[in-house]
A and B are shown apart, each in its own frame.
Chain A
Amino acid sequence: MSTLEIDRVRKTYGNLEVLKEVSISIGTGDFLVLLGPSGCGKSTLLSMIAGLENISDGEVRIAGKVVNELSPKDRDIAMVFQSYALYPTMTVRQNIEFGMKIRGVPPAQRDKAARSAADLLQITHLLDRKPSQLSGGQRQRVAMGRAIVRQPKLFLFDEPLSNLDAKLRVDMRTEIKRLHARLGTTIVYVTHDQIEAMTLATRVAVMKGGVVQQLDDPQTVYDRPGNVYVAKFVGSPSMNIIPGRIEVEGTTATAIVDVANRPAARIPGIGLSSQAASTYANRKVLIGIRPELFSVGNGQAQGAISVDVDVVEPTGPDTLAVFQLGGVEVTARLPPKQVNARSSATLAVDTSKVVLFDQDSEELIN
Chain B
Amino acid sequence: MANALSQQKPTVESISRQNRIRIGRLFIYGPLAVMAVLYLMPLWVMVVTSLKPLDEIYGGSFIGLPQTVTLDAWRSAWSQACIGTECTGLRPYFVNSLLMVIPAVVLSTGIGAINGYILTKWRFPGANFVFGLLLFGCFLPYQAILIPMARTLGLLGLAGSIPGLVFVHVAYGICFTTLFFRNYFVSLPDELTKAAMVDGAGFFRIFWSVILPTSIPIIVVSCIWQFTQIWNDFLFGVSFTSGGNSPITVALNNIVNVTTGRKQYNVDMAAAMIAAIPTLLVYIVAGRYFVRGLTAGAVKG
In the complex, are the beta carbons of A87 and B191 less than 8 A apart?
no
In the complex, are the beta carbons of A81 and B191 less than 8 A apart?
yes
- A88 at interface by CB-CB < 8 Å: yes
Main secondary structure of the interface of B (DSSP, over half): helix
Chain A residue at smallest Cβ distance from B199: A99
In the complex, are the beta carbons of A87 and B196 less than 8 A apart?
yes
Please judge, given known A-B contacts A52-B197, A52-B198, whether A89 and B214 are in contact too, CB under 8 Å: yes
Residues of chain A with a CB closer than 8 A to B199's CB: 73, 98-99, 102, 146
Residues of chain A with a CB closer than 8 A to B189's CB: 83, 85
Residues of chain B with a CB closer than 8 A to A51's CB: 197
Residues 199-242 of chain A, each 1 if its beta carbon lies under 8 Å from chain B, else 0: 00000000000000000000000000000000000000000000
Chain A interface size band reads: 20 to 34
Residues 36-69 of chain A, each 1 if its beta carbon lies under 8 Å from chain B, else 0: 0000000000010011100000000000000000
- A356 at interface by CB-CB < 8 Å: no
Residues of chain B with a CB closer than 8 A to A87's CB: 192, 195-196, 209-210, 213
In the complex, are the beta carbons of A98 and B209 less than 8 A apart?
yes
In the complex, are the beta carbons of B200 and A102 less than 8 A apart?
yes
- B205 at interface by CB-CB < 8 Å: yes
Residues of chain A with a CB closer than 8 A to B213's CB: 87-90
Chain B interface size band reads: 10 to 19
B121 CB → nearest A CB, Å:
12
A-B contact count (CB 8 A): 59
In the complex, are the beta carbons of A73 and B200 less than 8 A apart?
yes
Please judge, given known A-B contacts A87-B210, A89-B213, A98-B209, whether A78 and B198 are in contact too, CB under 8 Å: yes
In the complex, are the beta carbons of A79 and B195 less than 8 A apart?
yes
- B201 at interface by CB-CB < 8 Å: yes
A254 CB → nearest B CB, Å:
54
Chain B residue at smallest Cβ distance from A74: B200
B160 CB → nearest A CB, Å:
44
Question: Contact check: which of B195, B201, B205, B209 meets A85 at CB < 8 Å?
Answer: B195
Residues 180-202 of chain B, each 1 if its beta carbon lies under 8 Å from chain A, else 0: 00000000010110111111110
In the complex, are the beta carbons of B198 and A102 less than 8 A apart?
no
- A326 at interface by CB-CB < 8 Å: no
Residues of chain B with a CB closer than 8 A to A89's CB: 213-214
Residues of chain B with a CB closer than 8 A to A83's CB: 189, 191
A sample of 5 more A-B contacts (CB under 8 A), given A73-B200, A146-B199, is A73-B201, A85-B195, A89-B213, A98-B196, A103-B200
The 4 A-B pairs at the shortest CB distance, nearest first, are namely: A73-B200, A99-B199, A89-B213, A85-B191
Binding site for B on A (CB under 8 A): 47, 50-52, 71-73, 77-79, 81-90, 98-99, 102-103, 146
